[in-house]
């Protein structure tokens, strides 16, 4: 990940849409110095050929359902038509009623789910980041046993979320090990704030190690000289952490946190299995939408899904625009590099696994 980045001006001279000549058979591997790499005649047509199947599939499985959800959210539920008194087989068109209901009739349940989702996201991602960074610092210092730590740190990630939900329900059972350890009888999986705590503990356990792994990858790129120089200048370990480590791992950390946020916003498996469906204390937007859909109330379900989608979109946009998270990790296109005024380090490898 330390290869030379394309200088900002390279993008400007790049003949991106060069006329395709004998697609798939470049005349000669043209290669310019100064970052102009890989430019070959016929790239455009070949790229279209290679990329279009993926785009086609994603259109069918993501774009089309999204548009369907938008349309569906404008329809009501089948059943008794209040005006005519007949049972209708088709879903009536209700316009924006499903959205209006969110601010009125069905509002309590929606806002509860909305705040639960937000609360879980903020608290779990915050805790995960702190614990993950701490883990990474420890692992970075440890020279022996690193293989063991790396292996064990991947275990929580590998356990399926659904299974970890059941596992933590067992741990948080009224006669389970959690109560035995704290010597109290807390009914963790019943309604109440303790149910939220149970979900947060389980979620943090599963994901903090992974942030740790990503931050560790970022830490290992930082040269030793930087710390030596800082030590010469008399910087304390704490100052070194705040002024060297954190700024340098920031790009890797930012992407990790972004993905964790988006993952937490769609949280479903864990509260669903740890506490249960239709529990006010832990119901998230995903659970609410799924619950409505499984009760054949597709209209409201679609409206909730659309709102969740917009929410996720806004958070992602905020991260990329305000904090400058470089998700694509391509280094420097002219626009981006100019906007930030500097080239940024490519994020840690392996960040793709965050959403798994």
Partner 1 sequence: MTTTANTTTKTTMTTPAKWRTWLVYAGVALVVAYCLAPFYWMLVSSLRRTSDIFDTTLLPSPVSFDNYRAVFDPSQGFGRALLNSLIVSGITTVLALLLATFTAYAMARLEFRFKRLILTLIIATSMFPVVSIVVPLLKLFTDIGWINTYQAMIVPSMSFALPLAVWNLTTFFRQMPDELEQAAMIDGCTRGQAFRKIIVPLAAPGIFTTAIITFIAAWNEFLIALSMTNRPSIQTAPVAISKFAGATQFDVPFGSQMAAGVLVTIPLVIMVLLFQRRIVAGLTAGAAK
Whether the CB-CB separation of 275 and 139 falls below 8 Å is answered with: no
- Report the residue number, 248 or 334, with the smaller CB distance to partner 1: 334
Q: How near is the Cβ of 110 to partner 1 at its closest, in Å?
A: 14
At closest approach, how far in Å is the CB of 95 from partner 1?
18
Minimum CB–partner distance for residue 19 and partner 1 (Å): 12
**Alpha carbon 179 to its chain's center:** 32
Task: Report in angstroms how near the CB of residue 169 gets to partner 1 at its nearest.
Answer: 8
Cβ proximity to partner 1: between 122 and 247 the closer is: 122
Q: Is the Cβ–Cβ distance between 101 and 292 less than 8 Å?
A: no
Distance of CA 92 to the CA centre of its chain: 36
Angle at 345 between CA 343 and CA 346, to 5 degrees: 115
Taking the C-alpha atoms of residue 268 and residue 287, their distance in angstroms, rounded to an integer, is: 6
Calpha distance 59→49 (Å, rounded): 16
**Minimal CA–CA distance to 127: which of 257, 317, 217, 265?**
257
Q: Which is nearer to partner 1, 118 or 290 (CB)?
A: 290
Q: What is the 3-state secondary structure (H, E, C) of 110-150?
A: HHHHHHHHHHHHHHHHHHHHHHHHHHHHHHHHCCCCHHHHH
Q: How far is the CB of 139 from partner 1 (least distance, A)?
A: 7
CB-nearer residue toward partner 1: 57 or 187: 57
Minimal CA–CA distance to 273: which of 287, 260, 261, 285? 287
| Shortest Cβ 228–partner 1 spacing (Å) | 10
Half-sphere exposure of 196 (CA within 13 A, CB side): 18
**Cβ distance to partner 1 smaller for residue 192 or 329:** 329
**To which H or E segment does residue 222 belong?**
none
Our CB check for partner 1 shows the closer of 253 and 262 to be: 262
How many residues are given for the chain?
356
Instruction: State the residue for tokens 């006329």.
Output: 19
For helices 107-141 and 193-219, what crossing angle results, to 10°?
A: 40
Instruction: Check if the beta carbon of residue 1 is closer than 8 Å to that of residue 346.
Output: yes
Distance of closest approach, residue 320 Cβ to partner 1, in angstroms: 9
Shortest distance (Å) from residue 85 CB to partner 1: 26
Buried b (16+ CB within 10 A) or exposed e, 175-185: ebebbeeeeee
Half-sphere exposure at residue 249, Cβ-oriented, CA atoms within 13 angstroms:
27
Residue number with CB closer to partner 1 (58 or 246): 58
Q: Which residue, 153 or 219, is less far from partner 1 as judged by CB? A: 153
Considering beta carbons, is residue 83 or 161 the nearer one to partner 1? 161
Q: Which is nearer to partner 1, 10 or 253 (CB)?
A: 10
Question: Residue 62 CB, nearest distance to partner 1 (Å)?
Answer: 5
């Amino acid at each position: 990940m330390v290869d030379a980045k394309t200088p900002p001006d390279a993008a400007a001279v790049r003949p991106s849409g060069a006329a395709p000549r004998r697609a798939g058979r470049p005349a000669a591997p043209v290669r310019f110095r100064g970052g102009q790499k890989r430019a070959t005649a016929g790239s455009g047509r070949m790229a279209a050929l290679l990329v279009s199947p993926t785009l086609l599939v994603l259109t069918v499985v993501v774009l089309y359902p999204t548009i369907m959800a938008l349309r569906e959210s404008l329809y009501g539920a089948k059943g008794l038509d209040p005006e005519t008194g007949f049972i209708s087989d088709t879903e009536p068109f209700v316009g924006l009623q499903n959205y209006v209901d969110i601010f009125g009739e069905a509002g309590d349940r929606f806002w509860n789910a909305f705040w639960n989702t937000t609360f879980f996201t903020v608290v779990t991602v915050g805790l995960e980041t702190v614990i993950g960074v701490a883990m990474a610092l420890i692992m970075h210092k440890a020279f022996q046993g690193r293989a063991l730590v790396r292996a064990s740190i991947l275990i929580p990630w590998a356990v399926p979320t659904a299974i970890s939900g059941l596992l933590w329900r067992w741990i948080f059972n009224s006669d389970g090990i959690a109560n035995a350890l704290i010597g109290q009888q807390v009914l963790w999986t019943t309604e109440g704030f303790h149910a939220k705590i149970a979900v947060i503990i389980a979620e943090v356990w599963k994901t903090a190690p992974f942030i740790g792994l990503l931050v560790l990858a970022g830490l290992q790129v930082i040269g030793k000289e930087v710390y030596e120089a800082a030590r010469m200048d008399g910087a304390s370990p704490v100052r070194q952490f705040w002024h060297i480590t954190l700024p340098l791992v920031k790009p890797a950390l930012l992407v990790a946190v972004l993905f964790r946020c988006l993952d937490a916003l769609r949280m479903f498996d864990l509260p669903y299995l740890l506490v249960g469906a239709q529990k006010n204390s832990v119901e998230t937007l995903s659970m609410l939408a799924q619950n409505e859909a499984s009760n054949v109330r597709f209209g409201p379900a679609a409206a909730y899904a659309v709102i969740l989608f917009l929410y996720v979109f806004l958070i992602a946009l905020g991260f990329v625009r305000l904090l400058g998270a470089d998700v694509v990790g391509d280094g420097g296109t002219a626009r981006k590099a100019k906007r930030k005024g500097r080239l940024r380090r490519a994020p840690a490898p392996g960040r793709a696994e965050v959403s798994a």
